[in-house]
Amino acid sequence: MLNLRRLNRNIRSLRRYRQILGTLLKYGFGQVLDQLQIRFVVQRSRQIFIGGPEARAVKHQTPALRLRLAMEELGPTFIKFGQLLSTRPDVFPTEYIDEFSRLQDDIPAIPFELARQQIEQELGAPIPELFSHFDKTPLAAASIAQVYKATLPDGIKVAVKVRRPDIERIVATDLDILMSLASLAEHHLPALQFYNPVALVKEFRRSIQRELNFTREGHTMDRFAANFVGDSTFHVPHLYRDLCGETVLTMEFIEGIKVSNFEKLRNAGYDLTTIARYGANALLKQVLEHGLFHGDPHPGNIYILPGPVVCFLDYGMVGRLDRTLKYQLVDLLMGILERDVEKVTRLLLESGARDEEPVIADLKKVVSDFIDDYYEVPLHEINTGRLLTDLINILVQFRIGVPPDLLLLTRSLITMEGIGRQLDPDFNMVHHLKPFMERLARERLSPFHLAKDMKNVAEEYGILLRKLPRDLRTLLLRINGNRFKINLEHRGLNQLITDLDKSSNRLSFSMLISALIVGSSLIMQVDKGPLVMGFPILGILGYVIAAVLGLWLAVAILRSGRL
């Protein structure tokens, strides 16, 4: 039986696929699409977009700017993807990261009627029964959701976050296409294999699916609230669980002052230095104590309440640092402050997977130069975010994998440090970081944690010893039964195979053209069959076909750029 739903999705996907490729072509990425060998769609799109006014307008712009403009035009999924890529300096150069950081998430609001239907469907009751007042104009409209101000029957003001009704379908279609493009990139662009485009899209899929599910965001907010119980300097908006679901999130309405409104903060009597200190401590506590931190603490997400109390909004993007990664990070920073080149080199090698073994002597030289750059620099002049970025650049240079959460942490620290320096010119993140580092160093040497580490090591060796006899027996049985196999994975040969395939096809094509020319020449010597101007038609036809095929082959070779 024909599955109409699947058929409709395939038709939508094909239409969207052509739209995406056409947009990339319009912004000057035709050569990349040619390298991906997406010819069946590109040729049709080229007829539409090449030479148009849009193409001429962006012709002289930088590739980074053109890619950002293409992402903004392609809509919510690609805007979110660009925002994720802005946290990946290990994948893109600085100019691309800067452009991706400028991606705007503000898009026109959906009609209130659609939002009303979504709310009533999710919460199971009409809006007048749930709220005594509900503003029909949204406070904010983004690609994933809109936020409305409302009042509960008991007079409490709340913010209602509503997911766009059609966003899940749009994202699902775009994710399928992104995954397809990532697979093509890995296959046809060997230089990108180290960056693992498919894994990058999978990471994005996990991130955006979490952001689409407001139930998960609600649980995350509950965890943050529990982590900061008793802390009078940080506040997490209260959730009203009876009015929450997968597509609707109802929370306390925050009526504070935006952290970037310095004049209003001063007029309200707030000490900006204190606010900078509280904000830095809140983020560092999230990272180094709880291992769960806000992944997007930009000024629009931070409000100051009376006290002062720092309040973070929008918990859709969060990062996680496990115990091992926390200790590695602290050891790395301590090694830099102690100018221990050997220690920093060892920690960098242990920090991620390696595509190939780096030259240790070269790595030590780069690490030594890096440490010298920060040696004897006054603490108030050290930029923690810049320091971590420089470390990540070293990892990229030596093709050492970087944990995504560490990249997200780097961006969060850069953002928070920038806000802190605007609030207080003497703000220094290292000054706030040092007590947390010392506390973690003491913690790992405490008898409790040493005993816990020994217990974990003993458990791992116990599991290994229990499994070893069974694994050895399985191995010997396979060897005795001639069922022992070794799987070898070749790397870097895909492009060679593709090039050989192209060369053999061109050679076969050339032989076919030569055969047509020789055959046609022989036919031209025979005065039999239909004649045109005294020459055999078959001979003339053979020459024409050979000429057309030869021209086609010549054009293909010239377009490939390889004569």
Catalytic residues: 296
Long-range contact pairs involving 122-126 (C-beta distance under 8 Å, separation at least 24): 122/245, 122/246, 122/247, 122/248, 123/243, 123/245, 123/248
Spell out a b/e string for 105-136, using b for 16 or more CB atoms within 10 Å of the CB, else e. Answer: bebebbebeebbebbeebbeeebeebbeebee
Judge contact between 386 and 392, C-beta under 8 A: no
Sequence letter at residue 16: R
Judge contact between 186 and 192, C-beta under 8 A: yes
CB atoms under 10 Å from CB of 328, counted, come to 18
Judge contact between 187 and 197, C-beta under 8 A: no
Write out the two tokens for 146: 């809109």
Q: How far is CA 304 from CA 124, 255, 270, 301, in A?
A: 35, 9, 9, 10
Q: Round to whole Å and give the CA distance between 268 and 271.
A: 9
CB atoms under 10 Å from CB of 361, counted, come to 8
Q: Round to whole Å and give the CA distance between 473 and 466.
A: 12
- From first CA to last CA, the distance across the chain in angstroms is 51
Helix (H) or strand (E) holding 64: helix 63-74
Sequence letter at residue 85: L
Q: Which residues contact 466 (CB under 8 A, 6 or more apart)?
A: none
Torsion sign across C-alpha atoms 366, 348, 437, 447? negative
Q: Round to whole Å and give the CA distance between 46 and 50.
A: 5
The total number of residues written for the chain in this structure? 563
Cα angle value 438/443/447 (rounded, 5°) = 140
Q: Which residues contact 388 (CB under 8 A, 6 or more apart)?
A: 406, 409, 410, 413
Q: How far is CA 155 from CA 22, 63, 133, 148, 479, in A?
A: 51, 52, 9, 16, 76
Write out the two tokens for 522: 């022989």
